[in-house]
Amino acid sequence: MNDVKKKYESPVDVPKEIDDYWHARWAEYMNEHYREKFLEVGLAGYTFTEKAPDTPNGAGCYHFGFRSDGAFEFRDEEGDAVVEWDTYELAYRALGDESYNPEEDITGGRCRYTKNPENFLMAQDIIFAFREALKVAIKDAEKKFGVQLPKYW
């Protein structure tokens, strides 16, 4: 029997239910494995927003931050640091693709750090943690929902 899975070519096309699940799993994994590291690099208390007009959650953005104990969490209000992407696909690729260099998108105006860009630099040395958690979250979402999600690895 052929095990055909629904395949999503673009992260923009992923249904909200699946998007919500993998984001929650992503946060859970990071908190299980990297909470102390977030504290070490000084991310406690910092908040962020990534904006894109076509996010699968329908909100046009994701707000997140790090509690005083280093725990990563999604939030309801805009963060102290903001980046705006022309498309969600670019933001998703930047997170998942180790070879991605944002310089061309920044100079081309497709990625704009509009508020406290220096805050994003604090996470630069631990981007590996975000990417590792993404891989786990996507794999878990694929298994749970019987789908194939876009990947840049």
Looking at residue 1, its pLDDT comes to 46
Reported pTM: 0.92
Looking at residue 5, its pLDDT comes to 86
Spatial separation of the C-alpha atoms in residues 64 and 91, rounded to whole Å: 14
Question: How far from 46 is each of 40, 134, 150, CA to CA, in Å?
Answer: 13, 20, 29
- Domain ranges in the chain are 6-148
Evaluated on CA atoms 153, 76, 12, 53, the torsion sign reads: negative
Looking at residue 132, its pLDDT comes to 97
> What's phi and psi for 113, nearest 5 deg?
-85, 105
Looking at residue 3, its pLDDT comes to 61
User: Which fold, 6-148?
Assistant: Nonspecific Lipid-transfer Protein; Chain A (3.30.1050)
* Mean pLDDT in order along the chain per 10 residues (153 residues): 78 97 98 97 97 97 97 97 97 94 95 96 92 97 97 91
Residues 101-106: contacts with CB under 8 Å, at least 24 apart? none
Give, as one character, the DSSP assignment of residue 13: G
